[in-house]
Amino acid sequence: MFKKLFGKEKKQDVEMPEADGKDILVSPVNGEVVPLSEVPDPTFAEKMMGDGVAVKPTSGTIVAPITGEVMQLFPTKHAVGIKTVNGVEILLHIGIETVNMQGEGFKAFVKEGDRVAVGDKLIEFDMDMVNEKAESTITPVIVTNGDIVSTIDKVEGQQVTAGETTILTITTKQ
């Protein structure tokens, strides 16, 4: 009702930066960044979905790793897709085999079409429940449209802070 009275939601007012061919992603969650090869699912480990890194989370809050637009929020809330101003499509996939949880233990704070800024809360999840009901809490961060990318520089093997620590620097083809 407030949306109707006062106009757009706060999320829609996020100012989008100019496209410059370079996207810098920070970690979407507190934890340790590891190579995709450590993800216990061949779809991610063998880069079938795209290139990137994964984070072994130490908390259950997922934040926007970059300013962009929420292109997809899976009905089960275990994954979200964000498109950057440079057109790079980023998939954040919380845990492995979490789709089978049917959304149990997940709470979304965004919807498709929302504009988000770095650090905006996207999803909260119950780490204990994911550990109990799914294979892993490891969270792949994937570039799904690598055909537009010329380089991806990765940070791996270190502790990261959600919304702060750089994990990927992506340069798009000109």
pLDDT per residue as tens digits for the range 91-118: 999 999 999 999 999 999 999 999 999 9
Q: Domain for residue 142, yes or no?
A: yes
Q: Quick check: pTM over 0.95?
A: no
Q: What is the C-alpha to C-alpha distance for residues 145 and 40, in angstroms, rounded to an integer?
A: 22
Q: Domain for residue 134, yes or no?
A: yes
Q: Domain for residue 7, yes or no?
A: no
Q: Domain for residue 76, yes or no?
A: yes
- Indicate if the pLDDT at residue 7 is higher than 50: no
Mean pLDDT of the chain: 92
Q: Domain for residue 11, yes or no?
A: no
CATH of residue 145's domain is: 2.70.70.10
Q: What is the C-alpha to C-alpha distance for residues 94 and 24, in angstroms, rounded to an integer?
A: 20
Cα Dmax for the chain: 49
109: containing domain = 18-172
pLDDT per residue as tens digits for the range 117-139: 999 999 999 999 999 999 999 99
Q: What total number of domains does the chain contain?
A: 1
Q: Domain for residue 153, yes or no?
A: yes
Average pLDDT over residues 136-146: 97
- Indicate if the pLDDT at residue 1 is higher than 50: no
- Indicate if the pLDDT at residue 11 is higher than 90: no
Q: Domain for residue 10, yes or no?
A: no
Q: Domain for residue 22, yes or no?
A: yes
**pLDDT given for residue 110 in this prediction:** 97
b/e burial code for range 5-18 (CB count within 10 A of at least 16 → b): eeeeeebeebeeee
Average pLDDT over residues 48-62: 97
Q: 20 falls in which pLDDT band (50, 70, 90)?
A: confident
Task: Report the catalytic residues.
Answer: 93
